[in-house]
Amino acid sequence: DDEYILEKYLLKYMMELMKKILTGAKIEDKEREYAIYFYASSQVTLIRKWVLDNYEISPRQLAVYYKKWAVDAICDCYLPREIFCK
Question: For 12-33, what is each residue's pLDDT tens digit?
Answer: 999 999 999 898 788 999 999 9
Sequential DSSP letters for 34-83: HHHHHHHHHHHHHHHHHHHTTS-S-HHHHHHHHIIIIIHHHHHHTS-HHH
pTM, 2 dp: 0.81
**Mean predicted confidence (pLDDT) in 37-52:** 94
**Can you give the residue range of the structural domain that contains 17?**
2-84
Each residue's pLDDT tens digit, 61-84 = 999 999 899 888 888 888 776 666
Instruction: State the total domains in the chain.
Output: 1
**Surface-to-core class of residue 83, CB atoms within 10 Å of its CB (0-12 exposed, 13-18 middle, 19+ buried):** exposed
Residue 32 CB: number of other CB atoms within 10 A? 17
At residue 34 the predicted structure's pLDDT band, cuts being 50, 70 and 90, is very high
